Structure 1
Amino acid sequence: MIVMSRRRWLAAAGIATAAAATGWLAACAGLGNEYTFSQAQLQSALERKFPFSKRYMELFDVQLTNPQLVLDAARNRVTVQFDAAIDNRLFFRQPLNGRFALDSALRYDPASHSLVLQDPEVKQFDVQGLSGQYSRQLNALGGILAEQLLQGYPLYTFKPEQLRYAGMQVEPGTITVLPDGINVKINRQ
């Protein structure tokens, strides 16, 4: 049986405590350096922001509903698909319904504390029962909608506590689209 003196025991306990504390501090240092949001979390946040209704040029009433988020990790972009309804009593007897999809990069907007759409581009704008002449015009309208109405549209808004770490204000930096979520690196100010 090995008997330790009180001094040796205290020294060994101190080393073990210091090692544990160092490990704990190292683990904590990794906290707050990044956030990874799953596709399900992002989809839920996006759904809370819809339906999206907007009047454009005092002529068209546009309503987008049922958003679906698709992640494109290979291109570091997202695709957002919507059901679209466009109403204009001057040109159409009834609202036009179809499917609208846009492809977009993401950026952080400090004013709204949100991940927002950056340079969205129309991928698809299919409207049921529309002739070719109107289809071209509607696709042009879809491009304008994407550029002017959805540029800067928030995909996810950070909670205030997500932008504070160890009593300091932090700000999102590099945004990376993953196959199953989005990773946001955090920069300390």
Structure 2
Amino acid sequence: MTDRILPSHVRRRVLRALLGAAALPAPFAALAGFNFFTNEYTATREELQAQIAKRFPVAERYAEIFMVGLRDPQLGLDGRTNRAAITATLTIASPLLAASPVQGVVSVSSALRYDAAARALRLDQPKAERLTLQGVEGRDAERLQQVGAVVAQELLQGQILRSFTADELTVGRKTYEIGDITVQDNGIKVQLK
């Protein structure tokens, strides 16, 4: 019965159109995470991990005596709390430390915000949740943990997780803005409005 409704050449075109997503021209292939039918974009954990890894290592001087650095970031996503987390190797160096540099690990969780001027999804108000140091104990460890936590939060404040190009947010004559941000366990979904 369908043979009488649709000629074979039309059925083949429809089938090619449905299966042709993998063979889309380059501009459309780049929009793989965009779903303009539901007005959403989903960035996978792998995509976000690759983006954030490009922005490390980072370092900052603290109180003119400590140099605190972060490297090897690992992204975590928590859909229950709608927060992202960065766990990174921490290094604290200072001429005041007998064993310098001191190595450790810091985990920082953060809310997310969209920066419209930069077209970027950024960390917002990061909070050091856990910080461990190797080879330091007692009061020295407590002081260095405080320094490390403060600097890690400063280094990650405003850190870009994903930036968008103007072309990515434009389809035809419509330019989309980013709306609500939802953290999922395997990615981050943003509303396109």
Give TM-score, length-normalised by structure 2: 0.76
Match of 1:143 in 2: 149
Distance of 2:94 and 2:117 partners within structure 1: 34
Alignment RMSD, CA only?
2.6
Distance of 2:36 and 2:100 partners within structure 1: 58
Measured at CA, do residues 29 and 98 of structure 1 come closer, stay the same or move farther in structure 2, by a change above 3 Å? closer
Match of 1:115 in 2: 121
Equivalent position to 1:89, from 86, 95, 101: 95
Match of 1:3 in 2: none
Distance of 2:153 and 2:86 partners within structure 1: 14
- Residue 181 of structure 2 is aligned to residue 171 of structure 1: no
- Check the 8 A contact 2:90/2:104 in 1, yes or no: yes
Match of 2:135 in 1: 129
Deviation, 1:92, is 4.1
- Check the 8 A contact 2:114/2:178 in 1, yes or no: yes
Match of 1:47 in 2: 53
Distance of 1:143 and 1:53 partners within structure 2: 13
- Aligned sequence identity (%): 34
Give structure 2 stretches of 5+ with no counterpart: 19-34
Measured at CA, do residues 83 and 146 of structure 1 come closer, stay the same or move farther in structure 2, by a change above 3 Å? closer
- Residue 85 of structure 2 is aligned to residue 79 of structure 1: yes
Match of 2:31 in 1: none
Larger Rg: 1
Give structure 1 stretches of 5+ with no counterpart: 1-8
The amino acid of 1:138's aligned partner reads: L
Distance of 2:100 and 2:50 partners within structure 1: 31
Distance of 2:154 and 2:46 partners within structure 1: 27
Equivalent position to 1:30, from 9, 26, 37: 37
Deviation, 1:29, is 5.3
The amino acid of 1:30's aligned partner reads: F
